[in-house]
Amino acid sequence: MTRLVVVEDDPMTLAALSTLFSSAQEIELVGAYGSAEAALQATDWCAVDVLLTDLNLPGLSGNQLIAVALGHEPALLALAHTIHEGRDELFAALRAGASGYLVKGTPAPQILQAIHGIVGGETPISPIVARHLVAHFHRPDSAAEAEEAMTPREELVLQQFAQGQTYEQIATALDISVHTVHSHIRKIYGKLHINSRKQALRLVRKRGYFKA
């Protein structure tokens, strides 16, 4: 049984998705929320397999939600569900940690197929945006995207995060809020083009951000 959380700020769309998943086989809808904040407050991410989220949410964005949720449970599979068809939106979602990207208007059977597929190791991406991936990797200069420079505070957060510190421990050590730690991690993921603690550890060892 696939345990699913849905986050969507449009009430009609949220109701339609809730109805779809509530009656679907092999899917347990464990939460349906209108904002990222509500989902974060109510959800034990260790008890969730898949997050289906809109990207353009009030307050925290869908990408921020994905990054924070993955910080709690790296094994979580995130699937973006959005009206945006652009390259920048697709790549931002993937950098945040999304494992799939569906454009709104996708027929219900294909949404269900995407949920089952992502659990089975597939990467469901709507054809209308998949072309951006093909175009990107056909570019001569696409072997690697340039990394943005990190601030000294982000380097401190990265060092502690990669060494296994929890968000709460990092917040205490640096005398900042847990929310600020979440924000730093999200920015670090975006700058380094990573989406997991394991990748962070590999990079800091390779790049010499701290001595392992």
Helix (H, G, I), strand (E, B) or coil at 33: strand
Residues 100 and 195 in one domain: no
Distance (Å) of CA 24 to CA 15, 111, 135? 14, 11, 35
The separation between CA 91 and the C-alpha centre of its own chain, rounded to angstroms, equals: 11
204: tokens are 């800091």
* Alpha helix stretches (DSSP H) within the chain: 11-22, 36-42, 62-72, 87-96, 108-119, 127-138, 152-162, 167-174, 178-192, 197-207
Place of tokens 């340039």: 146
Q: Give CA angle at 49 (45, 51), nearest 5°.
A: 75
Distance (Å) of CA 121 to CA 40, 77, 100, 116? 25, 10, 11, 9
Last residue within a domain, chosen from 108, 138, 168? 138
Residues 82 and 118 in one domain: yes
Residues 15 and 108 in one domain: yes
pLDDT for 144 equals 45
pLDDT in tens, 57-112: 999 999 999 989 998 898 999 999 999 988 888 888 888 889 999 999 999 999 99
pLDDT in tens, 183-210: 888 888 877 777 777 777 777 776 665 5
Residues 56 and 103 in one domain: yes
Q: pLDDT confidence of 147, banded at 50, 70, 90? A: low
Last residue within a domain, chosen from 138, 162, 195? 138
Q: Report how far residue 190's alpha carbon sits from residue 97's, in angstroms, rounded to the nearest whole number.
A: 9
146: tokens are 């340039």
Q: How many distinct structural domains can be found in the chain?
A: 2
Question: Please, are residues 118 and 100 in contact by the beta-carbon 8 Å criterion?
Answer: yes
User: Residue 104: which of 9, 29, 13 has the closest Cα?
Assistant: 13
Residues 48 and 103 in one domain: yes
pLDDT above 70 for 143: no
87 in any annotated domain: yes
81 membership: H or E segment, kind and range: strand 77-82
pLDDT for 89 equals 87
Sorted by sequence, the CB contacts under 8 Å of residue 3 that are 6+ apart come out as 28, 30, 47, 48, 49, 50
